[in-house]
Amino acid sequence: MSEKKYAKAAFAGGCFWCMVKPFKEWDGIEDIVSGYMGGHVENPTYEDVKKGDSGHLEVVEITFDPSLFTYEQLLELYWQQIDPTDAGGQFHDRGHSYSTAIFYYDDEQKMAAEQSKKQLGESNRFKKPIVTVVRPAETFYRAEDYHQDYYQKEQSHYKEDRAKSGRDEFINDHWT
């Protein structure tokens, strides 16, 4: 019996609370951790990131088994969770920390992400250009414990926040 080989992927898609559940429900997804990446401050707190003082984006770091759920499948699912044409944040969450990005861990991920972005742009699904950036992964900082699996811990608040965000309406308008 061979040992499972896991890989990592990191995506910024606005509020990380809304980015966990869509990935969590698939075979081959081993773990999803909410956190911060891409800034200039070591060990940022949620307040640092939210104020914009650290330069970080809210991200989810996904540990997955590529033999069960490929990186290309992750990319496809990622695009369906965001507005890739909005450089100012996502839905009702505004500012740099809520902007979108694909953080790649190796050249294969970089090529797959760039190809996926190009294909989405050429699909004419959106009237505006795709502005989601593809950039190298940096140090990942795990968010505070109360942010982990927020959709399960604080179900009513999560549902209320997601409902008023406009994310679901956008997804329904563009992907269903």
State the pLDDT at residue 2. 57
Active-site residue list: 15
pLDDT in tens, 119-169: 999 999 999 999 999 999 999 999 999 999 999 999 999 999 999 999 999
Domains of the chain: 7-175 (3.30.1060.10)
What is the Rg, in whole angstroms, of the alpha carbon atoms belonging to the chain? 15
Q: Is the dihedral of CA 138, 142, 143, 148 positive or negative?
A: positive
Q: What is the pairing mode between strands 93-94 and 89-90?
A: antiparallel
Whether residue 72 is predicted with pLDDT greater than 80 in this model: the reply is: yes
SS3 state of residue 145: helix
Task: Identify which of 32, 39, 38 has the alpha carbon closest to the alpha carbon of residue 18.
Answer: 32
Q: Tell me: the pLDDT tens digits for 8-43? A: 999 999 999 999 999 998 999 999 999 999 999 999
Angle value at C-alpha 48, between 63 and 101, nearest 5 degrees: 45
Nearest Cα neighbor of 57 from 87, 83, 22 is 87
Q: How far apart are CA 16 and CA 23, in angstroms?
A: 12
Confidence at residue 53, expressed as pLDDT on a 0 to 100 scale = 86
